[in-house]
Amino acid sequence: MRVMLLCWLFLQTLTGAGAVTLVRDHQPVAAIHVAPAATLPERFAAAELQRYIQQATGAELPVRVGAPAPDEVAVVVALVSRLGDLGVTARGREKALGIEGLALRTAGNHLIVAGGGPRGVVYAAYDLLERLGYRWYWPGELGQVTPELADIEITDLDRVFEPSFVRRHAMGGPSDGWDDMQWGKDVVDWLVKNHQNFWLQNPPGEENAGFLAQRGGTYTKIGSGHNWQHIIPPARYFAEHPEYFAEVNGKRIPHGQLCLTNSEVQKLLRDYALSGAAQMAQNPDVMFVDMTQNDGDDWCQCAACRAIDDRDPSTHADIVFWALNPIAEAVAAQYPTALLHTYIYSGSANPPNWIKPAPNIHCEQTNYCYNYGASFLNPNSGPGTTFRANVDAWTPLCRVRGIYEYFGFYNWLEALPVTYYRLSEEVQYYKRIGVHGFYSETQQRWSTNHLLYYAFSRVWWDHRTDVPALIEEYCRLMYGPAAAPMHRFTMALETAGGPDRYLSGNEFDLPRLFTPAVRAECRTALDEAKALAAGNELVKRRLAFLELGWRYTELHLEAMEAHAAFRRAPGAETKAAAKGAWQAFVDYFSELQGTHAFDRNDLQHFRRRAENELAAYTLDLTSLPPGEVSYQDGLYDGGKARLHGRVEGFYDGVWGLSLYARGNGSLTYEFGAAAGHVWTEARLSLEASWREGLTSAIEWSLDGATWEPLAENRRVSSGEPFDLTSRVAGQPRFLVRVRYASTLPDEVAAVHAVGLKGLIE
């Protein structure tokens, strides 16, 4: 009988089967064991298990040092390499785990919680806690879902897991600094719990030393984005060596790209790469060395560069890799595991037809402004299909490729609903084509975008994550009695505009996305949720946090729509209504202060923008006070043309004032000084298009009766302002008019922006 039992136990150990009871009826049954020489992350993982199991059950499992007895019920927490110290034999798959891989298994009386490296063991602890029902949807206590359990019994668990992607980076800490230390720590803690692993910040202060080390540390890199300008700073080199820098239109300029055929430039880049690779060899946390082009374009047009760069005129990536590949080879010769890092982006976005990146260059491809709304795998995603073509074209060329996202690089604070249509489909595709990892520019908009942050963290961790199920679970676990209306709320936003929608990321997408119908549906659902949560303090507080951002959305959209109503029917009544709506929106910002609904700096930025919109309602261009005048209106959706000027014939197109087929339009501004004052300087700038089939005239006048031309039948850009100073100096007022007539059968955008800089004395 005894022999039989031993055999049975032996079999259980081999298959990872068994049942381990950690807690029974709120009483501890198991102890947590760590090795005598356990590292910080191993001890932290054990402490987190102890803390959260106690929160869920009331039972405090003791933490003990050393191997448990075979008949003792124990949770064994260790690096795989240290399992032997605790009497556990690591298996082959466990021994093969990478530093972020994790293993969870039951073996006889023991539950093994192990990691391939420091973060792996911490992730293993959180993975177990998630199995118990814990979730962390946003930073801090409010975003945490805590299960309430009387018993914990783990049965037949055998899990060995490696993250789907190596790099998972969207944020490193609180984006608005550490003034609120608790919030800052909560953000980093949330990032770790949701497996972000790059450039995580340690909270400042001696008392926080070890905060990140406990959590297994972080990947880093040498250098920062767009760092050619830091490797070869114009401030240091341009005066003496203009030849290091790009020649543009016959002139060397300090702030473009580098002259990559210059041998000194190549040497400086190579020295930087080699020194970075040497640091990388000393520090396994360094993932790569940045060798990234400057932002913007301005590629070198010198004869030597053009001879390389023009071989494929569709891209500048050819000269980038022509310059970086020999450097990468020099690095590989000395540091075989080092990686360089560069962008395939903007001027280098298209793949070159004659050269490919060296295998030790991590190429990060930016998903840049193609279509934020639809998945690029959706054949109806418009410009998204361009991005897909580019993604596919680079696949055979890059050995190591990252994807650079913009899940927060956005011109609004409202929700960015890309979780449902885009995220899982795209990320699964990236997994299939062997993508290494992700970075996303992500401002922190926790009230409106926490589900997106949570969801992309999860799919980057495990590309098989079922996103619709994740959304359903989020609603159920966070909102309990209010789950059903909150699911309606969430899905109304996620599916607004349909799967094929086009979002450029510009603010004027907002009214198309958050239509009155969608907002009404969300408001009804939210109010229903609030009523259902009446007896539940925690759910009420969660809904209140979410409503901070939703109220912002409502007030902003109401103001934008009131402005649109004024444009459609300019008049005192529509003007007063719009002014009131902007005022209500501006006033609302003070309610958001200190709530962490949005990043504080972001909030200031958007508040200024709202205040400018409000100010437009009181600005009278015909009676300007003395001093400098600086007026600018991008005429997107008509802009402020009807507030500040007179519009006839044009309609409000997305890209500016537009003409109907075979239509006529005119736009007139009167620029006047307040009584007793005169203009002393005035420079008018316009962006206005022209092509065959259009007749256009830009004119000025002192009295509105006699007009003189400034330009006719040509495209004008704001870069070549019309200096009116000699014409209007000493005058109290002048007028400017833009006239168009079209013989074209299509509608056409005509005037895109208007600006005036001047002085009144």
Smallest separation (angstroms) from Zn ion to the CB of 343: 19
Q: CB atoms < 10 A from the CB of 722, how many?
A: 18
Q: Which of residues 571-590 bind Zn ion (CB under 5 A)?
A: none
Smallest separation (angstroms) from Zn ion to the CB of 227: 19
Where do we find the tokens 């400098």?
628
Q: How far apart are CA 45 and CA 618, in angstroms?
A: 59
Q: How far apart are CA 602 and CA 600, in angstroms?
A: 5
Q: Answer for the pair 120, 102: CB distance below 8 angstroms, yes or no.
A: yes
Stretch that binds Zn ion, among 259-267, 287-295, 402-410, 634-642 (CB under 5 A): 259-267
Binding of Zn ion by 317 (CB under 5 A): no
Residues 515-522: contacts with CB within 8 Å, 24+ apart?
516/561, 518/492, 518/493, 519/553, 519/554, 519/557, 521/488, 521/489, 521/492, 522/489, 522/492, 522/493, 522/550
| Closer Cβ to Zn ion, 261 or 685, answer by number | 261
Q: Which of residues 676-705 bind Zn ion (CB under 5 A)?
A: none
Q: How far apart are CA 272 and CA 706, in angstroms?
A: 64
Binding of Zn ion by 232 (CB under 5 A): no
Binding of Zn ion by 269 (CB under 5 A): no
Binding of Zn ion by 323 (CB under 5 A): no
Stretch that binds Zn ion, among 28-36, 107-115, 252-260, 593-601 (CB under 5 A): 252-260
Binding of Zn ion by 320 (CB under 5 A): no
Task: Tell me which residue of 363, 317, 316 sits closest to 340, measured CA to CA.
Answer: 363
Q: Which of residues 501-540 bind Zn ion (CB under 5 A)?
A: none
Smallest separation (angstroms) from Zn ion to the CB of 233: 18
Smallest separation (angstroms) from Zn ion to the CB of 310: 12
What is the per-residue binding string for Zn ion in 151-170, x denoting contact by CB under 5 A? --------------------
| Closer Cβ to Zn ion, 87 or 242, answer by number | 242
Exposure of 193 in the CB half-sphere (CA atoms within 13 A): 25
The one among 45, 75, 122, 305 contacting Zn ion by CB under 5 A: 305
The one among 274, 302, 418, 728 contacting Zn ion by CB under 5 A: 302
Strands, E, within 44-109: which ranges? 63-65, 74-79, 102-107
Stretch that binds Zn ion, among 255-263, 284-292, 378-386, 684-692 (CB under 5 A): 255-263
Q: What does the DSSP 8-state code read for residue 686?
A: E
Strands, E, within 345-494: which ranges? 361-366, 400-405, 437-440
Smallest separation (angstroms) from Zn ion to the CB of 256: 10
Binding of Zn ion by 259 (CB under 5 A): yes
Smallest separation (angstroms) from Zn ion to the CB of 304: 6
Stretch that binds Zn ion, among 3-11, 253-261, 320-328, 657-665 (CB under 5 A): 253-261
The one-letter code for the residue type at 307 is A
| Closer Cβ to Zn ion, 252 or 399, answer by number | 252
Binding of Zn ion by 492 (CB under 5 A): no
Smallest separation (angstroms) from Zn ion to the CB of 259: 3
Binding of Zn ion by 300 (CB under 5 A): yes
Stretch that binds Zn ion, among 135-143, 296-304, 347-355, 396-404 (CB under 5 A): 296-304
Smallest separation (angstroms) from Zn ion to the CB of 305: 3
Binding of Zn ion by 107 (CB under 5 A): no
| Closer Cβ to Zn ion, 245 or 394, answer by number | 245
List the structure tokens of 322: 């022509």
| Closer Cβ to Zn ion, 259 or 555, answer by number | 259
- Total residues contacting Zn ion by CB under 5 A comes to 4
Q: If 0-12 CB within 10 Å is exposed, 13-18 middle and 19+ buried, where does residue 54 land?
A: middle
| Closer Cβ to Zn ion, 243 or 441, answer by number | 243
Where do we find the tokens 């933490």?
63
Q: Answer for the pair 41, 214: CB distance below 8 angstroms, yes or no.
A: yes
Q: Answer for the pair 722, 710: CB distance below 8 angstroms, yes or no.
A: yes
Q: Which of residues 396-425 bind Zn ion (CB under 5 A)?
A: none
| Closer Cβ to Zn ion, 9 or 248, answer by number | 248
Q: How far apart are CA 15 and CA 102, in angstroms?
A: 17
Stretch that binds Zn ion, among 282-290, 305-313, 440-448, 554-562 (CB under 5 A): 305-313
Q: Answer for the pair 264, 240: CB distance below 8 angstroms, yes or no.
A: no
| Closer Cβ to Zn ion, 83 or 259, answer by number | 259
Smallest separation (angstroms) from Zn ion to the CB of 231: 16
Binding of Zn ion by 319 (CB under 5 A): no
Smallest separation (angstroms) from Zn ion to the CB of 352: 17
Smallest separation (angstroms) from Zn ion to the CB of 516: 55
What would the DSSP string read from start to end of 140-207?
A: SGGGEE----S-EEEES-EEEE--S-SEEES-SS-TT-SSSHHHHHHHHHHHHHTT--BSPPPPSSGG
Smallest separation (angstroms) from Zn ion to the CB of 302: 3
Q: How far apart are CA 392 and CA 510, in angstroms?
A: 31
Q: How far apart are CA 528 and CA 510, in angstroms?
A: 25
Q: How far apart are CA 34 and CA 32, in angstroms?
A: 7
Smallest separation (angstroms) from Zn ion to the CB of 303: 8
Residues within the interface to Zn ion (CB under 5 A): 259, 300, 302, 305
